[in-house]
Amino acid sequence: MSFENLLVDRDGAVALLTINRPQVLNALNSATLDELRRAVLDVKHDEAIRVLVITGAGEKSFVAGADINELAVQTPVQGKEHARQGQHVFDVIENLGKPVIAAINGYALGGGCELAMACTLRVAASTARLGQPEINLGIIPGYAGTQRLARLVGKGVALDLLLTGRQVDADEALRIGLVNRVVAREALMADVMTFAGELATKAPVALKYIIEAVNRGLDMSLDQAQFLEATLFGLVASTEDMREGTQAFLQKRKPQFKGR
């Protein structure tokens, strides 16, 4: 499938989606959001793809937010629908059933920070800058930024970033838990693809249920979440991959997981 504003590449079991509107620092307009939705659904349903990487085209930016040209003229009803569209796409990414890594190659602001937060893991170039600057436009985040930021970095730090709209550099993002790793700009894509390749060798069903247990569990009581964990733990015991993983350990060899 080809897209106007997205590039799709493949390296073995790893898919790479590049938001490709560098002339506006990869700002997400409605058309791009819809392409992103279709592209991630393709990845979700393709069993041969085990890990997805998302990045931005060009040197400067991952995604510099929602497209302000569209925001500037939206009606209240369009604003609500637009936010629901973005929230839906990012929910699909968060619950894709396979790891999604954001390779943050520059600005991740507003919708860009929200996109990165919807990914399972975030690797930032040392030159990256992240933030939720909506307050400076007289608006609030609309793609779940108020919710995912507070869940990732805690309420106090989230409110600081949301109310000031200030940008954090990669080192601060790492310190507050907004990104998982920071690497040199020129090493970013090679490091991320190696990382993605490592994850792609792991048991796909176990990866899927770990992500599901963490995502769903955070919205449950500890008691309910532990019940969910135990149920998923029981389910993975039915997989060929569990037998392969445990046998490979006992036979002192590397496991070959098949996702069954």
Tell me the catalytic residues: 114, 134
Q: What is the C-alpha to C-alpha distance for residues 138 and 134, in angstroms, rounded to an integer? A: 7
User: What distances in angstroms separate CA 54 from CA 8, 99, 113, 124, 224, one per listed residue?
Assistant: 10, 11, 12, 12, 32
Stretch 130-149 residues interacting with ligand COA (CB under 6 A): 133-134, 137
| Distance (Å, whole) CA 154 – CA 84 | 24
Pairing type for strands 14-19 and 51-56 reads parallel
Is the Cβ of residue 27 or residue 100 nearer to ligand COA in the bound state?
A: 27
Sites for ligand COA among residues 56-95 (CB under 6 A) = 64-69
Cα gap 62→16, rounded to integer Å? 13
Give me the least distance between CB of 78 and ligand COA, in Å please. 14
Nearer to ligand COA, 68 or 159 (CB): 68
Which residue among 17, 25, 100, 205 contacts ligand COA (CB under 6 A)? 25
Nearest-approach distance from CB 100 to ligand COA, in angstroms: 21
Nearer to ligand COA, 68 or 150 (CB): 68
Could you identify the residue written with the tokens 């496991």? 255
Can residue 115 be called a binding residue for ligand COA (CB under 6 A)? no
Q: Minimal distance in Å, beta carbon 242 to ligand COA?
A: 44
Task: Specify the residue, 21 or 208, whose C-beta has the smaller distance to ligand COA.
Answer: 21
Cross-strand bridge partners of residue 14: 11, 51
CB-CB contact of 130 with 113 (8 Å): yes
Distance CA 106, CA 113 (A): 11
In single-letter form, the type of residue at position 201 comes to T
Q: Smallest gap, in angstroms, from Cβ of residue 11 to ligand COA? A: 29
Q: In this structure, what token pair is assigned to residue 148?
A: 């995912």
Positions that interact with ligand COA (CB under 6 A): 24-25, 27, 64-69, 107, 109-111, 133-134, 137
